[in-house]
Structure 1
Amino acid sequence: MSSFKIQGGKALKGEIIPQGAKNEALQIIAATLLTAEPVTIHKIPNIRDVNKLIELIGDLGAVVEKLDSESYRFTAKDLDVSFLESEEFKQKAASLRGSIMILGPLLARYGKAKIPRPGGDKIGRRRLDTHFLGFEKLGAKFNYSSKDSFYSIDATNLAGCYIHLDEASVTGTANIIMAAVLAKGKTTIYHAACEPYIQQLCKMLNRMGANISGIGSNLITIEGVESLGGTDHTLLPDMIEVGSFIGLAAMTQSEITIKNAGVEHLGLIPDVFRRLGIKLELRGDDIYIPSQKHYEIETFIDGSIMTVADAPWPGFTPDLLSIVLVTAIQAKGTVLIHQKMFESRLFFVDKLIDMGAQIILCDPHRATVIGLDRKQQLKGIKMSSPDIRAGVSLLIAALSAEGESVISNVEQIDRGYQYIDERLNQLGASIHRLEQ
């Protein structure tokens, strides 16, 4: 297990390029299983969750070629679906939440699949119902064995249909789209997720020969085709990294330029940070954040306390609420953070309170942050990273704090942020990785 030793209180300066989007990568890599032809993907981040999925794709029999540090070619010509019965598959798939994404492609192409209950962050209940209800509507039959925690799905006769999703699940929408592209007939998905990553997946599938319309809306129509071909695809910049760097700059009074930030795909993200009082300039596809000693949280027009809440796209992404919360610690004013989608994501605030933050945890979904306005610094402590986003939030707090902090279990951070210690050290941070 690795730890970060951080010497806080240093202002950073310079340029940083966000990695390719993790959440898009998991969908796009799974989609390479839909065709026997080569698919080349660029800007793949070197992070644990993505690397585990690439390894799993290779174990299934796909030929995986690493072309350079960020580009791979996948050729899933001859897959060995019997690997799904192995103990090795059970162990690997159970440790990776993203393993659920291989179901849609395997059902579409081979008519069957198995998967153990996936792992991932312990951030609350994360239902798989949307995936399976969608597959069932398409004609799949599934069985869950409580004895070995395996889901088995039979989809020998997938046929297009009308599907009204019970929730706008991003991974559920992606999985159903990938199952439907090779199903017979027309599939209509209403209440579909429409995140930029779903749009990217649909555009890639269309280049491969799929027939998908309604891209960017919550009503997606898919006309099934016989087969798909190969293509090249470049991942978007990771919007969660972009938001993390904005928060980091504000908390540490740093002057940072985020290069190639994918500004047109960020939605509300720049505006939410502006509501915290953070100055930022959009310069083409770059974001410039000047050094700020003070930033003041806005109130609503009637003078009531600002609330920042998550919502399905085009609302504010839940993956950045932890970053907004920690950034508000040194603002002037008060903000209510409302994490609607996951009931355990705010529990890390006890560490921030130990560092000197003024936060009231109202319930599992809501926390009120009373900004310190730089009147006192946070102090360094020892803590542990509970999940990817909370881990980076604690890292931001530690970089702004007085003295030394130690964050253990940084493998959680490594799951979502590539070389984060090295990249921030290049801007002037003091982060030392300790291997135990």
Structure 2
Amino acid sequence: MAYFEIKGGKSLKGEITPQGAKNEALQILCAVLLTDQPVRITNIPDIQDVNRLIEILSYLDVKITKNSKGDYTFQAKDLHLDYLESEGFKKDGAALRGSVMLMGALLARYGFAHMPKPGGDKIGRRRLDTHFKGFMELGAEYSYEKENHFYTLRVPDGARLKGTEMLLEEASVTGTANIILAAVLAEGTTKIYNAACEPYIQQLCEMLNRMGAKISGVKSNYLSIEGVEKLNGTEHRILPDMVEIGSWIGLAAMTKSEVTIKNVSWENLGIIPSVFRKLGIKLEKINDDIFIPRQENYEIETFMDGSILNVSDAPWPGFTPDLLSIILVIATQAKGSILIHQKMFESRLFFVDKLIDMGAQIILCDPHRATVIGLNHETELQGTTLTSPDIRSGIALLIAALSAKGKSYIHNIDQIDRGYENIEERLQKIGAEIKRFE
């Protein structure tokens, strides 16, 4: 098992370009199954979760051509659908969370879909009810083999999915994406209220519209999808990853570094820059880049009535839950205190014990809330041996290690590799002392 050795406490300097967005890539790759025409996708991140999904597409006999780094053409013409009922698929599909979005496209085009219970981060319960209830409202029949953890969805013989109106009980991003993928080829019009409206959902809708879909209400939480008979090929470029952008902002602040993050697509960052500014971090918009100057200290704001700042996650345009781990780590060296409220996932804050071992002052109130008392860079974190529990906690621990005094070792870095492309090489280019060992 690979691990990182990190010599922390060093200021960094330079430019870093964010990879393509992991969460968008997983949705867009599933959408290629909706047509038998070529679909070209660029800015695909070279990370484990995305590469696993591309492998699954290849096992389905999707024709895949690699044009250059991050640039692929997919053609789903004559598929090997028996693979979906194989032991191989049960293993492959269970290895990543994003495989769940294969169901919507397969159900729309072929009238059936199979799926093992998907894997992904161990951050608490992540139910799939929104997905399955949406499919059932469109007319699919659902069954579940409890002993094998295997889901099956099927449209009755001779029938098509039928458009309907639905109110989602949660604004699930993957649930919304899955229902969109199913509805674009359904008969009639589907109206989805309380739909997720993240930039990645907007990107999916815009791509499908270029393929011939008829989706209106994009950028809102009320989507109207008029089903069409078939879709055509297209070209699509994936947005830069907003979570990686937030990670590099946090890295610059924690290590007192001067960093420029290139080509960030400012118009798709929402409130992310303003939340970091509330922690006292200076960042400037220069064309489409973010410039973070070196700061010796940064001070957390209070609310206007003087009460302690509370940062919590919420559906878009609220703050993404994937960046709360970064906010928590940054706060350990800020001046002031903050309450972190992780509403969506019940196990995502359990990595704070590792930060406490490094010298951070954190009170874990319950599985969803942690209070951080900032050290104002007056007491350095101390290097130690760490284990990455999931992607986002893993990158937060890496940032802590790069700011800490002495050496740190991070194990289980496969979790970090699932979401961050060639991370040690990119960090080395801006001066980080980080090495990978097997």
- Name the TM-score, length of structure 1 as normaliser: 0.99
SS at 1:132 equivalent: helix
1:230 aligns with 2:230: no
Whole-Å Cα distance in 1 between the matches of residues 412 and 266 of structure 2? 32
SS at 2:394 equivalent: helix
Residue 313 of structure 2 is matched in structure 1 by 310
CA deviations over 1:42-70 (Å, ceiling 9, x no partner): 00000000000000011111001111111
Residue 154 of structure 2 is matched in structure 1 by 154
> Alpha-carbon deviation of 1:92?
0.4
> Alpha-carbon deviation of 1:379?
0.3
CA deviations over 1:358-378 (Å, ceiling 9, x no partner): 000000000001000011100
Letter in 1 for 2:201: I
CA deviations over 1:312-370 (Å, ceiling 9, x no partner): 00000000000000011110000000000000000000000000000000000000010
Letter in 1 for 2:161: L
Letter in 2 for 1:300: F
Q: Mapping of 1:20-35 within 5 angstroms?
A: 20-35=20-35
1:144 aligns with 2:147: no
Task: Find 1:422's aligned residue among 400, 403, 425.
Answer: 425
Q: Mapping of 1:329-368 within 5 angstroms?
A: 329-368=332-371
1:2 aligns with 2:21: no
> Alpha-carbon deviation of 1:80?
1.5
> Alpha-carbon deviation of 1:11?
0.5
> Alpha-carbon deviation of 1:228?
0.1
Residue 71 of structure 1 is matched in structure 2 by 71
Letter in 1 for 2:82: S
Whole-Å Cα distance in 2 between the matches of residues 247 and 263 of structure 1? 17
SS at 1:300 equivalent: coil
Letter in 2 for 1:403: G
- Moved runs in structure 1, 4+ residues, more than 3 A? none
Whole-Å Cα distance in 1 between the matches of residues 265 and 253 of structure 2? 20
1:292 aligns with 2:292: no
Q: Mapping of 1:42-121 within 5 angstroms?
A: 42-121=42-121
1:170 aligns with 2:173: yes
- Name the TM-score, length of structure 2 as normaliser: 0.99
> Alpha-carbon deviation of 1:284?
1.4
1:188 aligns with 2:212: no
Whole-Å Cα distance in 1 between the matches of residues 155 and 408 of structure 2? 52
Letter in 2 for 1:72: Y
Whole-Å Cα distance in 2 between the matches of residues 415 and 429 of structure 1? 21
Letter in 1 for 2:37: E
CA deviations over 1:370-420 (Å, ceiling 9, x no partner): 000011100000010000000000000000000000000000000000011
Letter in 2 for 1:125: R
Whole-Å Cα distance in 1 between the matches of residues 2 and 292 of structure 2? 31
Which ranges of structure 1 fall in alignment gaps of 5 or more residues?
none
Whole-Å Cα distance in 2 between the matches of residues 360 and 61 of structure 1? 51
Whole-Å Cα distance in 1 between the matches of residues 182 and 79 of structure 2? 17
CA RMSD of superposed structures (Å): 0.5
1:208 aligns with 2:237: no
Whole-Å Cα distance in 2 between the matches of residues 127 and 195 of structure 1? 19
> Alpha-carbon deviation of 1:182?
0.2
Q: How many residues align?
A: 435
Letter in 2 for 1:20: G
CA deviations over 1:166-224 (Å, ceiling 9, x no partner): 10000000000000000000000000000000000000000000000000000000000
SS at 1:353 equivalent: helix
CA deviations over 1:243-267 (Å, ceiling 9, x no partner): 0000000000000000001111000
Whole-Å Cα distance in 2 between the matches of residues 155 and 177 of structure 1? 16
CA deviations over 1:273-303 (Å, ceiling 9, x no partner): 0000000001111000000000000000110
Letter in 1 for 2:57: I
SS at 2:332 equivalent: helix
Whole-Å Cα distance in 2 between the matches of residues 196 and 396 of structure 1? 26
> Alpha-carbon deviation of 1:87?
0.6
1:370 aligns with 2:373: yes
Q: Percent identity?
A: 66
SS at 1:376 equivalent: coil
> Alpha-carbon deviation of 1:96?
1.1
Whole-Å Cα distance in 2 between the matches of residues 396 and 409 of structure 1? 16
Residue 38 of structure 2 is matched in structure 1 by 38
> Alpha-carbon deviation of 1:434?
0.8
Letter in 2 for 1:200: Q
Whole-Å Cα distance in 2 between the matches of residues 85 and 367 of structure 1? 44
Whole-Å Cα distance in 2 between the matches of residues 340 and 303 of structure 1? 23
SS at 1:330 equivalent: coil
Which ranges of structure 2 fall in alignment gaps of 5 or more residues?
none
Whole-Å Cα distance in 1 between the matches of residues 80 and 422 of structure 2? 33
> Alpha-carbon deviation of 1:155?
1.9
CA deviations over 1:77-107 (Å, ceiling 9, x no partner): 1111111111111110011111101000000
1:283 aligns with 2:286: yes
